[in-house]
């Protein structure tokens, strides 16, 4: 029963991950098929930003899973020691529901996420600034339609 539940949860997580990867692949293919230009550049930047945030989310989930795996290994080892000392001892099953990130671990991932969002905002602004500069350079060199 407990083993079945663990397998079902793992399968659900794997499915979500595969669907996320599929979405990224489809979006990348769509962007690759676009004509070169500002829209393609901007959409590629946005997809890259999405992939960065997804990587942080996955890193957080992997960290939680590593904590659960470590706690389970310790729990199973302790249960084996108890069972070895007392033949009548009935081993308990491990419950990982109480294993979560500590406040400092959460803060680490939150800060990493925020720093990434800040970096992405700067990249977006730099892109728009370069577009503005290009337009200003063009207008300085060739003037406007009205001036012609």
Cβ within 8 Å of residue 82, ≥6 positions away:
89, 91
Per DSSP, the residues of 17-77 read: HHHHHHHHHHHHHHHHTSPSSHHHHHHHHHHHHHHHHHHHHHHHHHHHHHHHHHHHHHHHH
3-state class (DSSP) for residue 3:
helix
**8 A C-beta contact, residue 75 and residue 43:** no
Rounded to two decimals, the pTM is 0.83
Cα–Cα distance, 94 to 76 (Å, whole number): 8
pLDDT digits (tens, 9 = 90+) for 61-118: 999 999 999 999 999 999 999 999 998 999 998 888 899 999 999 999 999 999 999 9
pLDDT digit string, tens, across residues 14-60: 999 999 999 999 999 999 999 999 999 999 999 999 999 999 999 99
In the structure encoding, which two tokens stand for residue 23, read together? 């979405």
């Amino acid at each position: 029963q407990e083993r079945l539940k663990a397998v079902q949860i793992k399968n659900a997580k794997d499915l979500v991950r595969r669907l996320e990867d599929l979405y990224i692949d489809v979006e990348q293919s769509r962007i690759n098929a676009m004509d070169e230009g500002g829209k393609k550049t901007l959409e590629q930047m946005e997809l890259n930003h999405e992939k960065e945030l997804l990587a942080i989310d996955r890193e957080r989930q992997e960290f939680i899973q590593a904590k659960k795996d470590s706690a389970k290994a310790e729990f199973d080892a302790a249960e084996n020691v108890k069972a070895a000392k007392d033949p009548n001892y009935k081993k308990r099953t491990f419950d990982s529901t109480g294993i979560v990130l500590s406040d400092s671990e959460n803060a680490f991932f939150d800060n990493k996420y925020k720093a990434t969002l800040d970096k992405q905002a700067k990249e977006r602004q730099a892109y728009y600034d370069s577009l503005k500069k290009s337009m200003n350079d063009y207008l300085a060199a060739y003037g406007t339609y009205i001036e012609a």
